[in-house]
Amino acid sequence: MENACSTMALSHKRGGAVVTITIRDVPVHVRDEIARRAKLRGQSIGEYVL
């Protein structure tokens, strides 16, 4: 399904605190591109986004 959307729930420990954000209605192709870029940097999606 090309137009399907997903939810991204990201948690990352930053400066001693855990930061959690939820992003809703993310088009799958956008989520996949973020995952691809994070992988290229050797990071998790949470590390890349935050």
Report which of 36, 30, 39, 41 is spatially closest to residue 8, judged by C-alpha positions: 30
- Tell me the pTM: 0.70
The tens digit of pLDDT for each residue in 3-38 reads 667 777 777 777 788 878 888 899 999 999 999 999
Q: Where are the domains of the chain?
A: 5-49
> In this predicted structure, what is the pLDDT of residue 39?
96
Q: Which two tokens stand for residue 49?
A: 């986004």
